[in-house]
Amino acid sequence: MNVLLCVACGRRLAGPVRRLDGMPVRPGPDDPGPDDPGPSGADGPRHGPASVPRGTYAVDPLPFGAPFVPYAGDDYDGIVPGGPWLSDERGFLLADGPRGTYVLHPLDVPDLAPHPDPVRSAGCCGATPYRGPNRLCPCGAEAAVESSECTGDWETRLLPDAVRLEAAP
């Protein structure tokens, strides 16, 4: 079991949590998993299925999130390491954000605050992971990217440069 601490202030952000052997297979929208209540109705937020079970974390070796860079190949199929594809005036875009993000269940990272720039989290039903770090440690350090949008995975990714991993006491 491990804990994840903010490198800026030393505060525990998550844990104790158990590391998974790898990134789990992404659940489908109709498979919220045994410990996930799934999307809420009109009286609460809507989100996709959880990427990892509560009490666990995975380390994603692939780039995740912003910045996004143009895809140069001819065989783009919409399957993008690090999350869903994007497009803009440059064409199809791939995630080129940090590698080695710590992927946790959002309920295992309760003390993070929304970024003061609302654009970082703007989505129709929750936070989007497309505009860089959108969650802060209580000390104010940018610590994570939350994804809680209705169309994507439900997860919080702690940034490898913002946290340090230690064995749980």
- What is the DSSP secondary structure assignment for residue 89, as one 8-state letter? T
Measured over the CA atoms of residue 124, residue 24, residue 93 and residue 136, the dihedral's sign is positive
Measured over the CA atoms of residue 64, residue 134, residue 162 and residue 167, the dihedral's sign is negative
| pLDDT over 70 at 3, yes or no | yes
pLDDT in tens, 58-73: 999 988 888 888 887 7
pLDDT at residue 135, rounded to an integer: 96
**CATH T-level assignment (fold) for domain 1-25+44-62+101-169:** 2.170.150
The phi and psi torsions of 18 (rounded to 5 degrees) equal: -105, 135
Write down the domain spans for the chain: 1-25+44-62+101-169
135-136 and 142-147 beta bridge pairing: antiparallel
Q: Which residues on neighbouring strands pair with residue 164, listed in sequence order? A: 5
Spatial distance between the Cα atoms of 102 and 99, rounded to a whole number of angstroms: 9
Residue with tokens 């844990």: 15
Mean predicted confidence (pLDDT) in 138-156: 90
CA distances to 27, 31, 77, 126 from 40, in Å: 17, 14, 31, 12
Q: Provide the 10 A C-beta neighbour count for residue 3.
A: 17
Sheet holding 2-6, edge to edge: 113-114, 135-136, 142-147, 155-158, 101-104, 56-60, 12-19, 2-6, 163-167
Spatial distance between the Cα atoms of 49 and 30, rounded to a whole number of angstroms: 8
Q: Which residues on neighbouring strands pair with residue 60, listed in sequence order? A: 101
* Total residues belonging to the chain: 169
- Whole-prediction pTM: 0.86
| pLDDT over 70 at 153, yes or no | yes
Across the chain, mean pLDDT equals 84
pLDDT in tens, 99-130: 999 999 999 999 999 999 988 888 777 888 88
